[in-house]
Structures are given as structure tokens and as C-alpha cells.
Structure 1
Amino acid sequence: MVQTDNLTFHYKKAEHTFRFPNIALKEQEHLLILGKSGIGKTTLLHLLAGLLKPASGALVIDEVAINSLSHSELDKFRGQNIGLVFQKSHAVRSLNVLDNLKARLFFSKKSINHTIIDSLLEQLDLTETKKKQINELSEGQLQRLGIAMAVVHNPQVILADEPTSNLDDENCMAVLQLLQQQAGKNRANLIVITHDIRIKSAFKNVITL
């Protein structure tokens, strides 16, 4: 469950204050947030992830008011309950695919279950890459690894930042389906922030900033 109320954010030395629409998602409901560059999409994603603290307003995830948590409490909550899919790979280059997933579980304070990892790699067509180094992966494999790293710890919320904007139509829908499938398996909320209007029809809930 994700709920926001009157969220605002103000960057230092900036005149403009971002004001965001309220969000109310029940369990397993998904949301698409559309908007052009500079409108505040990434700022909103960082607020939802607890990476930024709002100037005002409330943010509740799974009945926890996260902007009232201490830094250590927030780090722990984010690590255990939020999965982030970035535009660019954040995998550790010195580790192979398997060790990146194990590291994600370690930092989330979740037990390492090789059966679950192997199942996830199979679902994302990454089994053959299990022992490969990051620089040996194709762009498509890197993108699927990013999804795996975002969901391996079974988060309550999956946040995806422009996951399809640089893809052709076929790969755009394939990545979206993977995100929706993994959210379904985790019983998680999926929130996609993008300017890519091609995926609008795939979402029941849509907000345009």
C-alpha cells in the first residue's frame, strides 16, 4: 500500500517548489506517472524511495510513515521494502551476476536462498549469465539484471525510472511485462515514472505531472 498526501519538495537555491498529486494505491495496484523532462518525475521517485525528504506532506508505505523515520530506520526500511529499477546499471562491476544478487540480499538483511535466486534468473532468462562478469553482459541482460536486483529481496514497492524510454516497441513491452510479472509474484506495487506514452494503455492508474 502506498499513500501520499500533499507532497512538496524544494531544492536549495531553486525558486520553484514541486507540488505532487496525491497517490493512493492498494495492495498490488500499479501506477504510471507521466511527464516531460524537468517536471519533477525523478524527484517524485526519489521521494517515494526515501532518498529525498519532502518539504511538506506525508508518505506512507505498508502503513509506515517513512518521512518520520530516522536515517538508520529509513535505510533499513528502504533496503527491505523498496526495489529500484534505474535507467543505467547499478550492478557492482567487480562481482558476477550471482554475487550481485547475493550482495543485494545481504544489504537487505534477507537470507540468501539459492533456489529463489535460480528461479528468478530463469524467469528473467539470465540462467546462462549466472557466473558472468557484468562487463560480459549485453544491454538487454543488464536491464534484466537490474530488474532481478530490484525484486530479489521481495520488496513491497517496485519503483522504475524510465525503464522503457530507450527501447524499441518490442523490447519496450517485453520489459514492461517483466516488471508487471515480477510485481505480481511479489504482490508488490509497481510505480513506473516515464515520459514514454507507449505504455499508458497497460496501466489502470495514470498520473500526468
Structure 2
Amino acid sequence: MVQTDNLKFQYKKAEPLFHFPNITLEEQENLLILGKSGIGKTTLLHLLAGLLKPVSGSVMIDDVQINRLSHSQLDTFRGQNMGLVFQKNHAVRSLTVLDNLKARLFFSKKPIDLAAIASLLEQLDLKETQKKKVNELSEGQLQRLGIAMAVIHNPQVILADEPTSSLDDENCSAVMQLLQQQAEKNQANLVVITHDIRMKSGFKNIITL
């Protein structure tokens, strides 16, 4: 479950105050957040992830008000319960694909399940790359690795930042399906922020900022 109430954020006192609409997602419900650049989409995603603290209001993830957690509590909660798909891949470039996924599980304090890793690599068409270093991957493979790292630890919430903005129509559809399939497999909420209106057809719940 994801719920926000009266969420506001301001970077500096002289800058505009962002006031975001309330969000309520029940178990396994997904949400698309649309809006042009500069409207606050990424800010909202970072608030949902606990990477920013609101000026006022609350963010609840499965009955935990994350903006009241300490830094260490929040780091632990985020690592165990959230999967983040960023525009820029944050995999460790000196490690292999397999070792990046092992490291993700280790830092999430989750068991390193090689069978689960193998299954996920198969689903995301990355099986042949598992022994490759990250800097040997294509852009498409990097993107799929980003999805794998976001879901390998079975998060309750998957948050994706502009996952299709630089893709053609075929790859846009493929990435959207991958995200939704992984959210369904993990019984997780999927929240995608984008300015890419092509994604509208895949979501029932849509908010336009």
C-alpha cells in the first residue's frame, strides 16, 4: 500500500512550493504520474522513496510513515522494501551482472538465492550477460539490469523515473511490460513518473501534475 497526504516540498525558501495531489494505492495497484519537465515529477518520486523529506504531509508505505523514520531506519526500510529504477544506471561498473545482483541482495539483508537470480536473468533476457562487466553491456541491457536490480529483493514498491523517455515505440512497450510483469510477480505497487504519454495505455490510475 502507498498513501500520501497533503504532501508539500520546497528546495529553498525563495523557490516555489510544490503541493502534490494525494495518492492512495491498494495492494498491487499501479500508478502513472505524467507531467512536463520541471513540474515536480522527480521530486515526488524522491519523496515517495524517502530520498527527500517533505515540508509537510506524510508518505505511508504499508502503514509505515517513512518521513518519520531516522536516516538509518529509512536506509534499512528502503533497502528491503523499495526498488528504484533511475534514468541513470547505478550498477557498479567494475562488477559483473551476477555480482551486482548478489550485492543488491546482500545490502538488502536478503538471502542470495542463485536460482531466483537465474530466473530473473532469464525473464529479462540477460542470462548470456551474467558474467559480463557492466561497462560491456548495451544500453538496452543496462536498462534491463536496472529493472533486475530494482526487483531482485522482492520489494513492496517499485518506483521508476522516466524509464522509456529515450526509447522507440517497440522498446517503450517492452520496458513497460517488463515493469508491470515484475510488479505483478512481486505483488508490488508500481509507480512510474514520465512525460511519455505512450505509457498511458498501460495504466488505469493516472495523475497529471
What TM-score comes out, normalization by structure 1 length? 0.99
Q: Secondary structure at the match of 2:52?
A: coil
**1:121 equivalent in structure 2:** 121
Distance 1:166 1:32 in 2: 17
Does residue 180 of structure 2 align to residue 165 of structure 1?
no
> Structure 1 regions of 5+ residues with no counterpart?
none
Note the C-alpha offset of 1:201.
Answer: 1.4
Q: How far apart, in 2, do the equivalents of 1:106 and 1:145 lie?
A: 17
How many pairs does the alignment contain? 209
Distance in 2, matches of 1:108 and 1:25, equals 24
Superposition RMSD in Å: 0.7
State the Cα deviation string for residues 38-77 of structure 1 (Å, max 9, x = none): 0000000000000000000011001111111111110000
Distance in 2, Cα, partners of 1:84 & 1:14: 30
Aligned twin of 2:184 = 184
Equivalents in 2 of 1:53, 1:99: separation in Å? 32
Q: Which moved more, 1:7-16 or 1:120-129?
A: 7-16
Counterpart position of 2:153: 153
Q: Which residue of 2 aligns with 1:65?
A: 65
User: Residue 99 of structure 2 aligns to a residue in which SS?
Assistant: helix
- Identify the residue that residue 49 of structure 1 maps to in structure 2: 49
* Normalised TM-score (structure 2): 0.99
Unaligned runs of 5+ in 2: none
Q: 1:9 corresponds to which residue?
A: 9
Q: SS of the residue aligned with 2:190?
A: strand
The CA deviation string for residues 144-183 of structure 1, in whole angstroms up to 9 with x for no partner, is 0000000000000000000001100000000000000000
* Alpha-carbon distance in 1 for matches of 2:149, 2:9: 28
* Number of the residue aligned with 2:89: 89
The answer for the alignment partner of 1:208 in structure 2 is 208
Match of 1:39 in 2: 39
Give 1:13 shift: 4.8
